[in-house]
Amino acid sequence: MITPEVPQNKSQYSPMAKSSVRNKPFSCFSDGFLYLGGALLAFLLVWSLWSYTVPHTFEPRGSTKSATNDARTQQCVQENPAVNLGYDPPDQTFYDDQELSYSIERPMKNWDEKRKEWLKRHPSFAPGARDRVVLVTGSQSKPCKNPIGDHLLLRFFKNKVDYCRIHGYDIFYNNVLLHPKMSSYWAKLPVVKAAMLAHPEAEWIWWVDSDAMFTDMEYKLPLRRYDYRNHNLVVHGWEKLIYKEKSWTALNAGVFLIRNCQWSMDFMEKWSSMGPMSSEYKKWGPIQRSVFKDKLFPESDDQSGLIYMLYQDKGLMDKIYLEGEYYFEGYWADIVPTYDNITEKYTELEKEDGKLRRRHAEKVSEQYGVFREPHLKEAGNGKGSWRRPFITHFTGCQPCSGDHNQIYHGETCWNGMVKALNFADNQVLRKYGFVHPDLLDSGTVTETPFDYPDDGPW
């Protein structure tokens, strides 16, 4: 784990006009605004234009203008100053190494040092680095075969964007194979590796399949739980199902959180060596099936590969956290039938507690999640719970191809997805003053009256 030091020298934050003004606390903003007035605004405008045209090879500390700006920044001390998006010093970093490759085929060495070095040279990214998450997801490069497939994928993606906006996470949507042989369920590994290199500022890369969606927009990843014993990979799964039942569904590899560190680089190298890019790919399918009798298809897959590694080396449990306490992802067929009761329960809670009903800016939504927690003590977690399930995963529904698993009726899949999307969307739309009264009717909303849902039959 990398816990970058907080830079000593405050001026290293190189407060560029744009970000420091935009992120100031209100009181500071109004003081500064009244005090310095239009002249400052004009200066800021000039400076931000200048900052686009002049390469940032030095910090304009000496000038009178920057002194004014520094003074303002110090006067309005921020605990978590904005990151500086316009600053990349000329110092050599791993990006300048010609040998370095983003490809999953080429091993990465000394990544922890490289990342740490980069963070040292970009001190504005140091505060909060430990909790920084980049969500990565994606889909194929061609249009979906299912006529409503692209529409569904768009809504699944919108759902992820909503979640990330509420929690301040970045998101990357990839729709091209980064390694031509690593297709379908293997495609994520090359993307996750590339995302680690592209985001040295992030401690975690969070892969979420295109057919999984957030259905509790307030719930926040309990990252401290995974820091506590330095776990580097988090998946939804159960130890017993790996070592006793030997099931290929002992965990689900469609959603995982992986720490941006050397261990993960090494682990993904080993993991992907069971995939189609490897000369040994053919042998892995039969090996996986010899251990996991419920695996029906012949080819080696990423999920069986991951379980197989854990099965072979129980020591990996020190680094891999099998999250079974909440729906880190959950099977849609279990979850979808519970949405109506959950909605009812949450509405009851809001009727009882005015704090939960209070209208608020979307930006401060997390606080209302915290307010709700004491009411959810009895709700339980996971299966049988009336807590909103964190992630609902439409495994087997194949929204893009439409070739859903034949054990389901297509209608069950499509209606389930629509219901889940609107269930999630209602949590977002509330902040915009509207709600879908019918979860199966995506096109209709009603305005939520003041103090909703205190009055009226909801």
| Closer of 139 and 338 to ligand NAG (Cβ) | 338
CB neighbour list of residue 67: distance below 8 Å, 6 or more residues apart: 61
The pairing of beta strand 251-259 with beta strand 446-447: unpaired
Give the range of 149-157, 282-290, 320-328, 333-341 binding ligand NAG by CB under 6 A: 333-341
| Closer of 152 and 342 to ligand NAG (Cβ) | 342
Contact between residue 310 and residue 320 where contact means Cβ atoms under 8 Å apart: yes
- Tokens 């854990």 label which residue? 310
User: How many Cα atoms are found within 13 Å in the side-chain-facing hemisphere of 1?
Assistant: 17
Q: Give the one residue of 74, 230, 341, 367 binding ligand NAG; rule: CB under 6 A.
A: 341
Residue whose C-beta lies closest to ligand NAG = 341
> Which residue in 211, 253, 221 sits closest to 235, CA to CA?
253
Least distance from ligand NAG to the Cβ atom of residue 343, Å? 11
Least distance from ligand NAG to the Cβ atom of residue 422, Å? 17
**Cα(255)–Cα(250) distance, integer angstroms:** 14
Contact between residue 48 and residue 17 where contact means Cβ atoms under 8 Å apart: yes
Q: How far is CA 415 from CA 121, 284, 410, in A?
A: 50, 37, 9
The single-letter code of the amino acid at 228 is: Y
Q: Give the one residue of 93, 140, 338, 385 binding ligand NAG; rule: CB under 6 A.
A: 338
Least distance from ligand NAG to the Cβ atom of residue 409, Å? 18
| Closer of 184 and 341 to ligand NAG (Cβ) | 341
Q: Tell me how long the chain is.
A: 458
Least distance from ligand NAG to the Cβ atom of residue 338, Å? 5
Give the range of 34-42, 99-107, 128-136, 336-344 binding ligand NAG by CB under 6 A: 336-344
State both tokens at 229: 């014993």
Contact between residue 188 and residue 278 where contact means Cβ atoms under 8 Å apart: no
**Cα(307)–Cα(107) distance, integer angstroms:** 22
Contact between residue 40 and residue 32 where contact means Cβ atoms under 8 Å apart: yes
Question: Would you count residue 260 as binding ligand NAG (CB under 6 A)?
Answer: no
| Closer of 273 and 415 to ligand NAG (Cβ) | 415
| Closer of 241 and 379 to ligand NAG (Cβ) | 379
| Closer of 341 and 347 to ligand NAG (Cβ) | 341
Give the range of 110-118, 285-293, 337-345, 427-435 binding ligand NAG by CB under 6 A: 337-345
| Closer of 90 and 337 to ligand NAG (Cβ) | 337
> Which residue in 142, 171, 174, 149 sits closest to 158, CA to CA?
171
Least distance from ligand NAG to the Cβ atom of residue 339, Å? 9
- Alpha-helical segments (H) within 299-364: 302-312, 332-335, 339-352, 354-357
Give the range of 20-28, 70-78, 335-343, 444-452 binding ligand NAG by CB under 6 A: 335-343
What is the secondary structure of 406-434 as a DSSP string? TTS-HHHHHHHHHHHHHHHHHHHHGGGTE
Site string for ligand NAG, 272-311 (x = CB under 6 A): ----------------------------------------
Q: Give the one residue of 337, 354, 380, 449 binding ligand NAG; rule: CB under 6 A.
A: 337
| Closer of 294 and 344 to ligand NAG (Cβ) | 344
Least distance from ligand NAG to the Cβ atom of residue 102, Å? 46
How many residues bind to ligand NAG according to rule CB under 6 A?
A: 3
Least distance from ligand NAG to the Cβ atom of residue 341, Å? 4
How many degrees, rounded to 5, is the angle at CA 202 between CA 199 and CA 205?
85
CB neighbour list of residue 360: distance below 8 Å, 6 or more residues apart: 367, 368, 431
Contact between residue 448 and residue 434 where contact means Cβ atoms under 8 Å apart: yes
| Closer of 16 and 336 to ligand NAG (Cβ) | 336
Query: Where do contacts with ligand NAG occur on this chain (CB under 6 A)?
Result: 337-338, 341
